[in-house]
Amino acid sequence: MRDNAPNSWESRADTYSLYGFTDLPSVHERGAVVLTHGKGPYVFDTHGRQYLDANSGLWNMVAGFDHPGLIAAAKAQYDRFPGYHAFFGRMSDQTVMLSQKLVEVSPFERGRVFYTNSGSEANDTMVKMLWFMHAAEGNPQRRKIITRINAYHGVTAVAASMTAKPYNSVFGLPLPGFIHVGCPHYWRFGQTGESEEQFTARLAKELEATIIKEGPDTIAGFFAEPVMGAGGVIVPPKGYFQAILPILKRYNIPMISDEVITGFGRTGNTWGCQTFDFMPDAIISSKNITVGLFPMGAVILGPELADRVQAAAEKVEEFPHGFTASGHPVGCAIALKAIDVVMNEGLAENVRTLTPKFEAGMAYLAQNKNIGEARGVGLMGALEAVKDKATKTPFDGSLSVSERIANACTDHGLICRPLGQAIVLCPPFIMTDAQMDEMFNKLGDALKTVFKQVA
C-alpha cells in the first residue's frame, strides 16, 4: 500500500508523473509501484518487496531482467560506437548485420528492413509505405486501412486509428479511412448454434462484403495480429487466416502481420504467422526484437512489397521518412544478441517445453465458476472473468473485477495484467517449473479473494 509521506516514492510519482494506461482510482488509493531492479523473472520495489513478473515487463522482458550476455553486448557497443542514425546512406555495421539477420530468420526468402523506435511507429511507417507505394503506382486513392475490432496496433495517431478500441474516441479517433471489421473471438461473438468453422466463414464473408462496399481500389492494406494481444489474447478461430488471405489476394490488398507481441517465440514458433500457417506480405516487429533492453521496432518487407516500395523510392530518388534513433547501433547490437539468446540459448525451446504446464494451469483455474474462458497459445493466455458462466454474463463494469484481481496479485507478489474483464499472463521465457507453480498458486489465491468479494 502507498506511503503518503510528501517525499515518498509514491507521492513523488503522483506529483511529477502523468500515468499512461493506468487505472487512476487504483493508483490514487494504492500508489505507484516504483521498481529499483530485477533478477531473473523477478522485480523489486523501493520497499524491498519482490514480485514475479508474469507480464514480462510489457510482453518483452522474456530473457529476464539481468541476463549477463545481453548487458555485456550493450556495454561493449556503447564502448565501441555509442550512437548514430540511418539517414543519407550512412548506418552502423550493426544495423547492416541486423537487417541481414532479420531477413534470414523471417519467413521470407528475401526482403528489406526499415527501423523505428517502437511497434506503434513501425505500424505507422508501414501505412505510410503503403500510401507511398500505391501513389507511385498510379493508385493514390488506395488509402483505406482495414483492421479488426478490439485490435491493438499502437498509440500514434495512425496506429491508434488502426487500434479499434473505444478509448481512442477521447482523442477524436479513428481518422477517416480506417475501417474495422469483426473481432475473431469465437467464445464471445459466435452465434448460438454456430460452429467455429461457421464463425470463421461469417467473418470472411463480412470482410469481403466490406471490401466491396468500400471499393477494392480504395483499400491500401489489411493489418492483423496473429493473436490479439492487448485485445485480451484472442486466438483466431479455426481456419481464420486461410479463409481471409485468398480474399485479400483476390483484391490485391497487402496483408501485414503485426508481430509486435507474437514475434520471436511467444507462440512457440519464431513468428505467429508460422504458428497459424499463413504467409503475410510484411511483418511488424518490436518488443522481443531486443527483449526489452532497447526501444526498437522494425518493418520487415517480404519480396513483393520490398520491390514495390523500393521502386517507389527510386521514382522520387528517396524514401522521405525516418527517425533520428532508428537503426541505432546499440539497439541493433542488443537485438543481434537477443535473437541469438532466444533462438540458440534454449529460450524458444523452453517456451515449447513449458506450454503444456502453462495450459494445464490455465485449465485448472478455468474450473472456477467465475472464469468463463481460458484461452491462449504458447506462453500467452487470458482468463475471462464472468458473473455467470453459463450465460457468459460479465460482471458490472463498476466492480472493476480484473483490476481488483491484478491488485490482489500484486499483494501476493505477482504482477499480471488486467484487460477488460480478463487477466492476462505472458511470463518470461526463462521461467522454471517451480516459478510456473508459484505464478498459478498466487493467481489462484487472488481469484479466490476477489470472487468472494464480488460474486
Residue 1 lies in a domain: no
Q: Which cell goes with 66?
A: 539481468
Residues 175 and 313 in one domain: yes
Question: Is residue 428 in some structural domain?
Answer: yes
The answer to whether the beta carbons of residues 327 and 298 sit under 8 Å apart is no
Question: In this structure, are 92 and 146 located in the same domain?
Answer: yes
418 in Cβ contact with 22 (< 8 Å)? no
Residues 222 and 260 in one domain: yes
Instruction: Give the 3-state secondary structure of residue 284.
Output: strand
- Within-domain flag for 267: yes
- DSSP class of residue 17 equals -
For 309-387, strand residue ranges (E) read 371-377, 380-385
* Pairing mode of beta strands 144-148, 219-224: parallel
Residue 21 within a domain: no
Last residue of a domain, one of 329, 344, 359: 344
Domain end (from 318, 344, 370)? 344
Rounded distance between C-alpha atoms, residue 431 and residue 41, angstroms: 7
User: What does the alpha-carbon distance between residue 107 and residue 302 come to, in Å, rounded to a whole number?
Assistant: 8
Task: Tell whether 56 and 91 lie within a shared domain.
Answer: no
Indicate if 253 and 355 belong to the same structural domain.
no
Q: Quick one: pLDDT at residue 163? A: 97
Q: Give the C-alpha separation, 426 to 61, whole Å.
A: 10
With CA atoms as reference, report the closest residue to 184 among 169, 170, 164, 168: 164
Amino acid (1-letter code) at residue 139: N
Task: Give a yes or no: residue 17 inside a domain.
Answer: no
Q: Which residue range is the domain that position 127 belongs to?
A: 70-344
Name the pairing type of β-strands 144-148 and 178-181: parallel
Task: Specify the CATH number for the domain of residue 212.
Answer: 3.40.640.10
Q: In this structure, is residue 26 part of a structural domain?
A: no
Whole-angstrom distance, CA of residue 358 vs CA of residue 376: 10
Q: Is 231 helix (H, G, I), strand (E, B) or coil?
A: coil
Same domain, 338 and 394: no
Is residue 28 domain-resident? no
Last residue of a domain, one of 344, 378, 399: 344
* 317 and 297 housed in the same domain: yes
What is the per-residue pLDDT for 1? 65
Dist. CA 13–CA 10, nearest whole Å: 5
Residues 267 and 293 in one domain: yes
- Which CATH number do you get for residue 398? 3.90.1150.10
Asked if the structure places residue 27 within a domain, the reply is no
pLDDT in the model for residue 4: 79
pLDDT per residue as tens, the chain (455 positions): 678 788 999 999 999 999 999 999 999 999 999 999 999 999 999 999 999 999 999 999 999 999 999 999 999 999 999 999 999 999 999 999 999 999 999 999 999 999 999 999 999 999 999 999 999 999 999 999 999 999 999 999 999 999 999 999 999 999 999 999 999 999 999 999 999 999 999 999 999 999 999 999 999 999 999 999 999 999 999 999 999 999 999 999 999 999 999 999 999 999 999 999 999 999 999 999 999 999 999 999 999 999 999 999 999 999 999 999 999 999 999 999 999 999 999 999 999 999 999 999 999 999 999 999 999 999 999 999 999 999 999 999 999 999 999 999 999 999 999 999 999 999 999 999 999 999 999 999 999 999 999 97
Distance CA 337, CA 139 (A): 41
Residues 327 and 399 in one domain: no
What the block records as the C-alpha cell of 453 is 468479494
Rounded CA gap, 1 and 51, in Å? 14
Same domain, yes or no: 77 and 149: yes
- Separation CA 199–CA 208 (nearest Å): 14
Distances in Å between the alpha carbon of 202 and those of 137, 232, 240, 301, 366?
33, 22, 10, 30, 28
* Total number of domains constituting the chain: 2
Whose cell is 517445453? That residue is 353
Q: Name, in order, each residue with C-beta under 8 angstroms of 186's C-beta and a sequence gap of 6 or more.
A: 196, 199, 237
**Same domain for 370 and 259:** no
Instruction: Please tell me whether residues 332 and 381 are part of one structural domain.
Output: no
